[in-house]
Amino acid sequence: MSWLSEYYGYINLLAIAGAAATVVITAFVAAIYFKNIKSAKKSGELSSDSWDGIKEYKNPLPLGWAVSFLVLCIWAIWYMLAPAGLPFAYPLGAYSQIGEYNEEVAAYNEKFTAQWQNADEATLKEMGESVFIVQCAPCHGLDKSGIGGKAADLTTWGTKESAVSSVVHGSKGLNYPFEEMAPMLGGLISSEDDVRLAVEYLTKYISGAQPAVNVNEAEYNAWLICASCHDTDGAGMGGAAPDLRNYGKSAFITEVLNRGKEGYIGSMPSFNDGRLTDIQKQAVSVYVLSDRQ
Ligand code: HEC
Ligand code: HEC
């Protein structure tokens, strides 16, 4: 057998011997049962049940079998759940190919992050373009326009017009605690002009970061309706609604990537599953807005 152990190694040889023994024992036991089927006489005690004259022998499970069944059940749970290192436990902490792969990816991502941490705008845009082509273009189209309404039109997302449209038609699916901005027109706001006034205030003083001095009173009053959810400063009440100080900016897009969106147009997956590193998310967000004036 030495040629075998040389070929398979010592442990494998044991496994093969075990498998061979199992096959032999199984065949032997099966043979006994086949013989019994042919020759066994009726014996034993009948149970009192009778189904259309068909009766059943009392055939209780032998105690030893019942005990080993229970013991094996308990061991199965232990085997799967017990931490590595304990006896008879699955070696969860031991080497695995998946583990090695995950470690390599993590190490690579760390290197990537260190290398590109301070990438400038042009580099981010270039990196973002490749990410976009692979991860976003299948839904948003290479030209970012949303493939005829299948996904959001990213050539206009974040503009005044798209803010007006979000308010008029409502917006949902980013999964904020306030859940949904129901269509405002006819609800909290009676005319589209008022929406435009509010958005004017938003883009000037909140996402536009101009100092709010000498503000137009009509714009401010219209904004106060929005402030009931977004807060007067637009920051979103500590995360209950989106932070509109970032509206139309790459930081808002990165937030969308982390959250995913189940909106009125359709559903976009979250990219928070390790598919993209933080820098890649930032890069693709910069790229989306890169051809705005
Ligand atoms: C009832 C609370 C509420 C009010 C009032 C409200 N919003 Fe919102 N707003 C939200 C929530 C919640 C979201 C996130 C919706 C989502 O998940 O897409 C949101 C999202 C937005 C967005 C981002 C849309 C996008 O494309 O992701 C803009 C812009 C916005 N609101 C502007 C406004 C303006 C302007 C007003 C006032 C006219 C206003 N909101 C009033 C709750 C509100
Ligand atoms: C599986 C298809 C799909 C993929 C992949 C996808 N999106 Fe989207 N995206 C959508 C859909 C659909 C919407 C519109 C959701 C809605 O409002 O109903 C959307 C909306 C958006 C919005 C607007 C969110 C808002 O708050 O209005 C942005 C920004 C965006 N996507 C960016 C991206 C970027 C960047 C990528 C690539 C990293 C990407 N998307 C990948 C389908 C996709």
pLDDT digits (tens, 9 = 90+) for 205-254: 999 988 888 899 999 999 999 999 999 999 999 999 999 999 999 999 99
* Residue 257 reports pLDDT greater than 90: yes
**What is the average per-residue pLDDT within 82-100?**
73
CA-nearest residue for atom 8, ligand 2, is 268
Tell me what percent of the residues of the chain surpass a pLDDT of 90: 68
* Residue 188 reports pLDDT greater than 90: no
Closest Cα partner for 276 from 152, 166, 116?
116
CA-nearest residue for atom 13, ligand 1, is 181
Give Cα 66 to chain centroid, integer Å: 42
Per-residue pLDDT reduced to its tens digit, 98-154: 878 988 999 999 999 999 999 999 999 999 999 999 999 999 999 999 999 999 999
- Distance in angstroms (rounded) separating the CA atoms of residues 201 and 205: 6
Q: Would the CB of 288 count as within 6 Å of ligand 2?
A: yes
Site of tokens 């390599």: 104
Site of tokens 């498998």: 19
* Residue 96 reports pLDDT greater than 70: yes
Site of tokens 């930081």: 251
**What is the average per-residue pLDDT within 260-284?**
94
Q: Which of 268, 286, 287 to mutate to test the pocket of ligand 2 (most atoms within 8 A of CB)?
A: 268
User: What spacing in Å lies between the alpha carbon of 87 and ligand 2's midpoint?
Assistant: 49
Q: What is the reported pLDDT for 61?
A: 87
Ligand 1 atom closest to Cα of residue 162: 26
CA-nearest residue for atom 24, ligand 2, is 256
- For residue 208, count other CB atoms closer than 10 A to its CB: 13
Mean of the per-residue pLDDT values for the chain? Answer: 90
CA-nearest residue for atom 28, ligand 1, is 163
- For residue 133, count other CB atoms closer than 10 A to its CB: 13
**What is the average per-residue pLDDT within 46-56?**
87
Alpha-carbon separation of residue 264 from 8, 80, 135, 157, 245 (angstroms): 60, 43, 21, 15, 23
- Distance in angstroms (rounded) separating the CA atoms of residues 29 and 161: 80
User: What spacing in Å lies between the alpha carbon of 198 and ligand 1's midpoint?
Assistant: 11
* Residue 15 reports pLDDT greater than 90: no
Q: Categorize the per-residue pLDDT at 44 as very low, low, confident or very high, splitting at 50, 70 and 90.
A: confident
Q: Would the CB of 284 count as within 6 Å of ligand 2?
A: yes
Q: Would the CB of 283 count as within 6 Å of ligand 2?
A: no
CA-nearest residue for atom 34, ligand 1, is 226
Q: What is the reported pLDDT for 176?
A: 97
User: Which ligand is located closest to the Cα atom of residue 250?
Assistant: 2
Between 185 and 181, where is the model more confident?
A: 181
Q: What is the reported pLDDT for 2?
A: 57
User: What spacing in Å lies between the alpha carbon of 126 and ligand 2's midpoint?
Assistant: 20
Q: Categorize the per-residue pLDDT at 58 as very low, low, confident or very high, splitting at 50, 70 and 90.
A: confident
Q: Categorize the per-residue pLDDT at 59 as very low, low, confident or very high, splitting at 50, 70 and 90.
A: confident
Q: Would the CB of 252 count as within 6 Å of ligand 2?
A: no
User: What spacing in Å lies between the alpha carbon of 196 and ligand 1's midpoint?
Assistant: 14
Q: What is the reported pLDDT for 92?
A: 59
Q: Would the CB of 225 count as within 6 Å of ligand 1?
A: yes
User: What spacing in Å lies between the alpha carbon of 49 and ligand 2's midpoint?
Assistant: 66
CA-nearest residue for atom 21, ligand 2, is 152
